Amino acid sequence: MATTPKSTVPFAVSATGTGVAQSLEAGGHRFESDALPSFGGADAAPSPLYYVLGALTSCNQVTGSLVAKDLGIALGTWSFEVVGDLDPSVIGGGADGNANFDKVTARVTVETDADDAQFAQLVSETERRCPVTQLFKRSGLELDSAWTKAELTVPVA
């Protein structure tokens, strides 16, 4: 049986910087990064670690919106609280070990008209299809993700 070739979409970033600060460009958008003072930065822009955690929230929202469309359910406001537990001794002090987060805790609340079964499917399918969630899970860190369904007040188109 012949298989359909997999197509990919390239995501490219270019960056320049000095010290620990960078100016980045991606998809026609410019943004800055810096490090916390404990890592030699001026804290003049978000740390790359904040961007990683923010990527988890926004990728889940994008993916979840696509999944909701597939399931025929309406969504309203999303809210996220994400915390990453990092041992700074590897990156900052050169200690042996894993420089990755030890654990990331994500609390997600989404307004929806989904019933409980649809909501469970929204959560599982979003986590399965979200590239950033999969990046986190496959890295070996502990990902503690809990989703809460809230009453839909105003559907977002």
pLDDT over threshold 70, residue 157: no
What the block records as the tokens of 52 is: 């990683």
Neighbours of 108 (CB within 10 A): 22
pLDDT of residue 143: 97
What the block records as the tokens of 134 is: 């999969």
Neighbours of 126 (CB within 10 A): 24
The top-level CATH class assigned to 48-151 is: alpha beta
pLDDT of residue 30: 98
pLDDT digits (tens, 9 = 90+) for 134-145: 999 999 999 999
Alpha helices in the chain (DSSP H): 48-71, 88-93, 116-129, 131-139
Neighbours of 149 (CB within 10 A): 19
**For the whole prediction, is pTM greater than 0.95?**
no
